[in-house]
Structure 1
């Protein structure tokens, strides 16, 4: 049944692409986005570290394509954010994958204090390694980059808060606006996260490519909130999400315990005929409402 997933993904992805074409240009790549992309490109060679933030649920699909235009740097760190929303075992597998690609990667939950402390300690260690090579700058800059809604601003806020507390610094805290909607960050802002040496992190607007040709990629980006919600294609998007859930190992375990017929929900989810009345007739499956 997993073979049905690409067809549903293609359906919703094509719907999103058609909306963009009907609006004569991708509504996610506005003139403001183009200006932001130019500003980010200008700063990439000037900062000390690039923190490429990706969604831990789609670590390949959330890759920041703008970095392709720049030479690969050993100072790029792939940050898998939103790990609280992803499978722990799969995140571990992706970390192993990036290590095999000789990439530096770190997994983090921007809303967890302990996770942010670990991330800050990790960043400070990278900075010390840089300074030990004879690097002479008194101020180190790290720039958060990525597609929309991967949690760059939330990371900036948390690093700023934890960093100021750790350094026992006084003064008013800065705060980047964080919302569930993509594209909220409009400008590049700096936040101090450590002292001795001074370390600043730059929060930047999320940028998507002007055109996305892969329909399934479009679907994944819409499902994780990287693309603004639209009226068209919502049914197909829900079907795709339901199909993902019903083909997961976790669902299969619950289905077996609850006596749900094998693949019943997968079929209804992917053929567009999902009916709540049908589920009422199934044997009751005990669930945990907190999940």
Structure 2
């Protein structure tokens, strides 16, 4: 799934300028460089490597540093944020990775049952690994699992959830050590150890998110920016909003929102200012349905798509109760609200990467 070419190019140029100029203190700073070296040194020493990817971008969120460590039975790909991706597409991606002999598991780090299922799977994988390496006599030895990935794929939330579910005794509850979890990429600065199981002991190493020093592909830049892998401070939020709308308009998600298009707006402005309120989200869905249902142009035509998005933005500013002010920041406020609703799954579930067998078809 790709967005309108002009928006992809605009986002791509913004990201590439930052990465190429090295002007940002966030982009591949000394923390990322040091962490990158530390991770490379430790990967050969751990028992398993869990690569966390974003289920919305299963290929685009690949951790490039693992290219230096060929895939093997000791590597597991975890497609996190499965609750934000298309369920059918996630199943297709799982089947695709299975054909390539990758060990893959889809999770929602904020769902206890999902994490319990993965922990059971991980323990089985470790037992299998010990049998295959003739380590049955050392079944009680400690196993280390390194969790790696690019920024903001949910590594720390994943590690914390495993730690919470894997607690063995009540005495451990008062001694929990948490990874830093925020919606902002690049918050984890050091490699941190968490115990997730006993008999045998299993420790996971939560690592900082690492991006390559440069990203040259416009589409890849756009997907990483929209899903939050790149700091929002480096990106024009209106470009992100336009890119998301081009993706929404090319999907059939809006067809589910017809019932919201006839709802009357009986809410005050103070409520409408809070874009996370259900009534606001429903109003946004209804407005988008009306704009798309009334659209008579050709979505395959770049100019028609741009005109539709301009009309949608005008309507949504009213829904969000955002109007031009003396500072002229209405675009930034409106765009940030819209992007937030996308990232939290309130405006549908999208898988942005298409399978190699279907790309271009």
Contact 2:18 2:27 in 1 (8 A): no
The match for 2:310 is 273
TM-score by length of 1: 0.87
- Looking at structure 2, the residues matched to 34 and 229 of structure 1 have their Cα atoms a distance apart, in angstroms, of 21
Give unmatched runs, 5+ long, in structure 2. Answer: 262-288, 318-344, 348-361
Matched ranges for 1:79-118 at <5 A: 79-118=78-117
- Looking at structure 2, the residues matched to 220 and 3 of structure 1 have their Cα atoms a distance apart, in angstroms, of 9
Pair 1:196–1:214, CA change in 2 (3 A): same
- Looking at structure 2, the residues matched to 264 and 37 of structure 1 have their Cα atoms a distance apart, in angstroms, of 48
Task: Give deviations 1:27-51, integer Å, cap 9, x for gaps.
Answer: 4201111110000000100001100
The match for 1:183 is 186
User: Secondary structure in 1 aligned to 2:166?
Assistant: helix
The answer to whether 1:161 aligns with 2:198 is no
User: Secondary structure in 2 aligned to 1:178?
Assistant: coil
The match for 2:294 is 261
| Structure 1 residue 215 displacement after superposition | 1.2
User: Secondary structure in 1 aligned to 2:232?
Assistant: coil
The match for 2:238 is 235
| Structure 1 residue 195 displacement after superposition | 0.7
The match for 1:173 is 176
Give unmatched runs, 5+ long, in structure 1. Answer: 281-288
The match for 2:54 is 55
Contact 1:153 1:176 in 2 (8 A): yes
| Structure 1 residue 119 displacement after superposition | 0.5
Task: Give deviations 1:187-229, integer Å, cap 9, x for gaps.
Answer: 0011111111100111000000000011111111111110001
User: Secondary structure in 1 aligned to 2:60?
Assistant: coil
| Structure 1 residue 230 displacement after superposition | 2.5
The answer to whether 1:203 aligns with 2:206 is yes
Task: Give deviations 1:43-68, integer Å, cap 9, x for gaps.
Answer: 10000110000000001000000001
Higher share in helix? 2
User: Secondary structure in 1 aligned to 2:45?
Assistant: coil
- Looking at structure 2, the residues matched to 290 and 5 of structure 1 have their Cα atoms a distance apart, in angstroms, of 22
The answer to whether 1:222 aligns with 2:225 is yes
| Structure 1 residue 12 displacement after superposition | 1.1
User: Secondary structure in 2 aligned to 1:191?
Assistant: strand
Contact 2:18 2:234 in 1 (8 A): no
Pair 1:269–1:233, CA change in 2 (3 A): farther
| Structure 1 residue 21 displacement after superposition | 3.6
Pair 1:290–1:279, CA change in 2 (3 A): closer
Question: How many residues are aligned here?
Answer: 281
The match for 2:266 is none
Pair 1:185–1:269, CA change in 2 (3 A): farther
TM-score by length of 2: 0.71
Contact 1:20 1:26 in 2 (8 A): no
- Looking at structure 2, the residues matched to 263 and 191 of structure 1 have their Cα atoms a distance apart, in angstroms, of 55
The match for 2:216 is 213
The match for 2:15 is 16
- Looking at structure 1, the residues matched to 225 and 73 of structure 2 have their Cα atoms a distance apart, in angstroms, of 31
